[in-house]
Chain A
Amino acid sequence: MRSPFLALSLAIVRGFVRDKASVFFALVFPLMFLVLFGGLFGDQTQSRVEMVQVGEVALLEEMSDGTRSAFDETFDVSRSEDLQAALTEVRKGDADVAIEMRGDTLVAHYTQTDQVKAAVTQGALRAFVDGTNVALSGEPPRFALEVERVEDDSLSTIQFVTPGLLGWAVAMSAAFGAAATLQGWRQSKLLRRLQLAPVSTRTVVGARVTVTLLIALVQMAIFIGLGAAAFDLTLTGSWWMAVPLLVVGTLCFMALGLLAGAITRTTEGAVNAANFMVLPMAFLSGSFFPLDGAPGWLRAFSTLLPLQHLNEGMLDVMVRGEGPGAALVPLVVLAGFAVVVTLIAARLFRWETA
């Protein structure tokens, strides 16, 4: 014999797992974004510059081995004997630069279409020419350059999008789940039926909340698992603080879903209302792209949105390497939102649609 709590939780889990649309929007849809962002913008390193070498270019033949390997990292060289054909290739964008020797002068033909590649081409070729000049002079170079990479604070794409998309996914499924359950159960009179069964409201609400929390944790596991396995996501020290953040965030967005369910009359209406709250909020809270470039008033406005606090907290603990304390303020803010919205939803609550 199952306890009422277990039986209700099981019924809700089954109802969720068997609803393809719910599963799609809770798991597959946000993952599509993760794959999209992770895959499209993940590889930010420049591809090599396509170079067409017309005729003999002595400079390239005389490179030392070290220079040669550096050169090959930057340029992908093909050979041609026809200058006009090479220039056409450059013009069409099939190649980035064509080089030829005119006496002792190296001439590079390039377009400005890709400014980064144009700059790389100019800089690299100038360095090779200068380097060769120095070598031919027989004098040892007086100055040397050594490069050392500094870890910057800006995050790679996958590091940035995983916490934001996860926050959005959890917000969405919590709000939709609560809104659709409230409306669906109200319309089928199941809510009334449960009122006449010897189970307390606490048990019913507890089962629904527990299932939504489980879904949120599954979402987190899948997001982090896929991010780490496929896109080199690296979590920082106190990432586990994302768990309490997600728990409180889930409660907060369930409350919003209850509100959406309370102010609407149909399941479709409830889901639309939830969507109307969550989707714009996701954009304005930096779930999809950072708000660093946004105008000041917009960033100020975004601090009024619970999802912004969830996202910031998750970024801080999951990828920015902040300590557990960084999650405290978001936790308090989210809990406050949850309490206030729940109270409003409870005031607007009706047992029946009519």
Chain B
Amino acid sequence: MHEIKVERPMSPSLTSWTFFVEHRAEILSATLDHLALVLIAMTIAILIGVPLGMFIVQRPALRTIALGIASIFQTIPSLALFGFLIPIPFIGGIGKRTAIVALVLYALLPILRNTYVGLTSIDPAVLESAEAMGMTRAQILIRVRFPLALAVILAGIRTATIITIGVATIAAAIGAGGLGTFIFRGVALVSDALILAGAIPAALLALLADFLLGLLERRLRIS
């Protein structure tokens, strides 16, 4: 309490800057933790979402169910989702594993939906030609639909990545580490410097991911 009173009259930007400089090693390590959390969750989400999207294109009956379930996960507030997962055996508990499960569930909808939309919104004339030329369904999927859908799929991955970077800060609430640790501590201690130490790197990560994936997406887009 005394310390805070002393710091109050100083400009918040100056105290934040001092805090950043003094704690740069910790901030960097938390940023790397955060990045690891996001990369692991995104890898799993892509490995599930893209094949599942390809699968539901062939099975229209499963489409509504798969997209419906993915949408439900997305509507659960993130803090609640983390809370719900804690008591579940194997995937639950406190720590990184639970956080990754929650992040995967969050990232799934944009990836799954864009994969499905990308694969199904291809020029009908192109698909008609492919069929008429004697390509099998599998060949059409792999050699025509998938390459033409790639830019749209990547747009979904980009959206999912940005969501995941944001949501991952909340994962600190269940002990998963990362940049959220600073934010939660900052909220508890009413310290702008601590909150910014978590929020600024998280925002920069999101901007960087958006920029790099956007660059890749533009390269893949076929006019």
Mutual binders A and B: no
